[in-house]
Amino acid sequence: MEDNNSDVKSWFKKGNSLLVEGRCEEALSYYDKILKVDPEDTRIWDNRGIALSDMGRHLEAIECFEKAIELKPDNTKAWSNMGVTLAAIGKYEEAIKCFDKSLKLKPESSRTWTNKGTALFCLDRHLEAIKCFDQALKINPKNSEAWAGKGSALRLIGKYKEAIESFEKFTELAPPRALPLIKQAKKIIKELKKTLEET
């Protein structure tokens, strides 16, 4: 069994690094190896779900998150990841329920508040979305996604000045890989400033 344990550890590391690199198919093969040894490892079911979700296999991903939660009902990550996957297929109400479950267990997760805000935004519930983004930013003021979400929601309710401030924070904090979104935000800032000058 000792050998199995060290194998599982190295497979877990390997699977996770492949997942980070976006090599989801390969990551899955390592996760499946682990599940053969230990079919009740909740972290593996969760990570397997992330890999499947990234590949667009959302329904299979949801089954993995459900399995992770069945094994460990207080798995905050699995609740949150299931919410993200449900949102990806347009099931925003169900997604919000998952985020709420996750936040009940771990209310200090800036990312989960951001995800909940995004789902509310997609349902045109902009004021509720802003509250979630604000909560996310209270926990982590450097959360660029929350700044972007807040800016988008403020823009849609006509609060252009505050929207500009949020988008500016986003462009300042966003990582280099978000360059296309940074360009888009700068364009929106320009348009909003022009609108404000004209009113």
Q: pLDDT of 97-151, one tens digit each? A: 999 999 999 999 999 999 999 999 999 999 999 999 999 999 999 999 999 999 9
Q: State the pTM of this model.
A: 0.90
Residue 1 has pLDDT above 50, yes or no: no
**Per-residue pLDDT at 55 exceeds 90:** yes
Contact 146, 117 (CB under 8 A): yes
CA-closest candidate to residue 129, choices 171, 185, 87: 87
pLDDT band at 3 (very low <50, low <70, confident <90, very high): low
Domains of the chain, CATH where assigned = 2-107 (1.25.40.10)
Q: Which of 106, 133, 103 is nearest to 119 (CA)?
A: 133
pLDDT of residue 51: 97
- What gap in Å lies between CA 178 and CA 152, rounded to an integer? 16
Mean pLDDT, all residues of the chain: 95
The runs of H, that is alpha helices, within the chain are 2-20, 24-37, 42-54, 58-71, 76-88, 92-105, 110-122, 126-139, 144-156, 160-173, 179-198
Q: Quickly state the pLDDT bin for 74 (edges 50, 70, 90).
A: very high
User: Residue 153 above 90 pLDDT?
Assistant: yes
pLDDT for 2 equals 44
Q: What is the pLDDT of residues 16-42, one digit of tens each?
A: 999 999 999 999 999 999 999 999 999
Measured CA to CA, the distance from residue 35 to residue 144 in angstroms comes to: 36
